[in-house]
Amino acid sequence: MRYPLTLVTPLLLAALAAAGCGSDSSSDVPTEPSPVAVVESFSGTLTVNGLQAHVFTVNRAGTASAQLAALTDSTATLALSLGTWNGAACQVVIANPAATLNTTVTGTAQNTGQFCVLLNDVGKLGAAVDYTINVTHF
């Protein structure tokens, strides 16, 4: 069976055009780099009935955690909290009111901005303690 050239030519051109539209396995679209964790350390002295707040800036949404990494009284029980900083105070979002040495609180920063870690006496300190808190965020 013979087909007229005017009918076959458009079909061949369409097939060639479709073949040229295939996807390539390599892409020129840049990929976003993997997030790199930022670790900040805050140290100070917490007095009896005292409270200490430290502010940090999150540049990328993701996990944020605070660890009570060092205490001069390793048996002390304190409150360790993470929250948002409003410019004047720490609005607590997640707290552990029975934190001891090496306790970690973990939350999720939904947005970028200023956040805070709060350490306070829950009425169990007999004397001031020196501390270090390690905050990890993105």
Question: Which sequence spans correspond to the domains of the chain?
Answer: 38-137
Q: Which CATH class is domain 38-137?
A: mainly beta
Q: Are 115 and 58 in contact (CB under 8 A)?
A: yes
pLDDT of residue 32: 78
| pTM of the full structure | 0.77
Q: What percent of the chain has pLDDT over 90?
A: 75
CA dihedral 28, 36, 63, 131 (to 10 degrees): -170
Over residues 113-130, mean pLDDT: 98
Note the pLDDT tens digit of each residue in 106-119. 999 999 999 999 99
pLDDT of residue 5: 46
